Structure 1
């Protein structure tokens, strides 16, 4: 049974889950949501398992006609949202019914929002994931972003007994100056003064910022004298900070499999969501951290998610 019809698709709206793991050696990237915390909260708010498929909405939201009674929740970037022309709040579950019109407008802060629906979106599971890889035309809804007239289904699920909402202190803020923690390596030995530069100055997010990676602009990060300008291509991971020949950093995200430039540092997993919520013109300032701190922060985030589950 259909759940919604797309009246207007928004800027770039795709079906995503946590990602497609185990196929990078075949050239298939992980894909998946860019803000895992907001994604997980959205599913919890409508009573789903953590990894049910949602809509990832970028910059401008869609307009949707509801065709099935269900609960929905929008988390992530702050975006105006109306149900039948009446404002409704984010980070809360909302009951919708057939004939309702849900309209999500332009971002006010952040970059990406996540719309979860009761049961999760029903699309084919490709290589163990519902995620869309637009570059490879696989996964999600027909391997592409949504278009006007698309009709999407959800898995069967009951509605909630009562509404759910996220505690205010759990809701992230998305400032235009993001402080991002990173661990040195794996090729930090290619740099000397460049390491000092990376952590001492801010870098602007350029217009070349998408699901593949974020190109930044700021003070040049030179490779150490005598070292080659590139390395033998090797497997990459989300968060790697590459330094190409133009000496401007690139933060790799979820639609990469290999990289051929030295990686000065790696953004920790809990801060990748912060990177993905910045927009062109925003500033990223890197802070040096270590693996022990990264593990602690990850554990704290998981504890927060578990506490949210236990609220309901």
Structure 2
């Protein structure tokens, strides 16, 4: 009888979840797009093991899992720098590895950034929910039983894919995990609610990522901002940043109380009553996801043309990295 294509979780790590490209089309119902926070790293992990259709993989946050292969499996680890060990022997990231039945894959302490990705040839074979296998923890939706992985879980792996000729992502195509970031933003919709000094603080001063950072949002500490005084309209709260409810774009920046900006990420709610003073451009959302607590950040104002060019450049860089493996 053939061995079951699956992995057994011996230790789950801090927050290991199943993710893919995301769940698109339900934002108006309050269900966020989800998916891997660092999509670039996730795509390259999948490409290394022949997954080309956005197959599901594991997203590991800070402390990774220890798992056992229940059959021969091809795996790749990308994203934040972390020691990769097979049966206690260290192996490189950004390359394809072959696990024999019974091999144990484990990880050391992360050396920068916050998240790394494990892709298995064939993908994580859990049911698709609303068009995606991504885990949405708040809604207990998708992924492996709608939750983080736990010790003892047996996670099925799909049928193996044809492996690409290239088995290593060249260093020139790997992202940088820096303690200093310039994050490009488009101002609006409510930047007019800030004073001149408040707006200058947002886009000219330095902000530091706090430990309050997860898949829904990342909170920064810094000089704070000033809000223009006004009589709050009917339906808005008393906080100076409150508005009558509005929809939130992924990447929206809120500053409740004028003190700590919050960048909403892929699992954030789709609307609420805080003013969005700026939005991180789509090309830099992977960059934000790579930040670790303590990362020094400057929010740099750009215009729409620059944002569109940045999105095109990101697409071209990913395409070049994928092409290098074929």
Question: Does 1:290 find its partner at 2:285?
Answer: no
Pairs within 5 Å for 1:139-178: 139-158=142-161, 160=163, 162=165, 164-178=167-181
Q: SS of 2:257's equivalent?
A: coil
C-alpha spacing 1:239/1:296, structure 2 compared with 1 (3 Å): same
For structure 1, which segment, 107-116 or 194-203, has the greater mean C-alpha deviation from structure 2 after superposition? Answer: 194-203
Match of 1:109 among 109, 112, 119: 112
Secondary structure at 1:238 match in 2: coil
Instruction: Specify which of 225, 230, 233 is matched with residue 226 of structure 1.
Output: 230
Match of 1:253 in 2: 265
Distance apart, 1:227 and its partner CA: 6.5
1:1-312 mapped onto 2 (5 Å cutoff):
1-158=4-161, 160=163, 162=165, 164-191=167-194, 192-226=196-230, 228=232, 229=240, 230-255=242-267, 256-311=269-324, 312=326
CA distance in structure 2 between the partners assigned to 1:227 and 1:44 by the alignment: 54
Does structure 2 conserve the Cα–Cα contact (< 8 Å) formed by 1:44 and 1:50?
Answer: no
Residues 275-305 of structure 1: per-residue CA shift (max 9 Å, x gap): 1111222221111112211111211221122
**Separation of aligned partners in 2, 1:308 and 1:179:** 23
Offset at 1:133?
A: 0.8
User: TM-score if structure 2 supplies the norm length?
Assistant: 0.92
TM-score (norm 1): 0.96
Deviation at 1:161, TM superposition (A): 6.6
Q: Name whichever of 179-188 and 242-251 sits farther off.
A: 242-251
User: Residues 224 and 154 from structure 1, CA distance in 2 versus in 1: closer, same or farther, beyond 3 angstroms?
Assistant: same
Unaligned runs of 5+ in 1: none
Stretch of structure 1 that moved more, 39-48 or 228-237: 228-237
Name segments (4+ residues, structure 1) moved above 3 Å.
Answer: none
Q: How far apart in 2 are the matches of 1:38 and 1:154?
A: 20
Provide structure 2 residue ranges, at least 5 long, that are not aligned to the other structure.
233-239
Q: Is the 8 A contact 2:221 2:259 kept in 1?
A: no
Q: Decide which moves more: 24-33 or 160-169.
A: 160-169
Number of matched pairs: 312
Separation of aligned partners in 2, 1:276 and 1:158: 28
Aligned residues of 1:2 and 1:151 also touching (Cα < 8 A): no
Residues 53-86 of structure 1: CA deviation (Å, up to 9, x unaligned): 0100000011010112221111110111111111
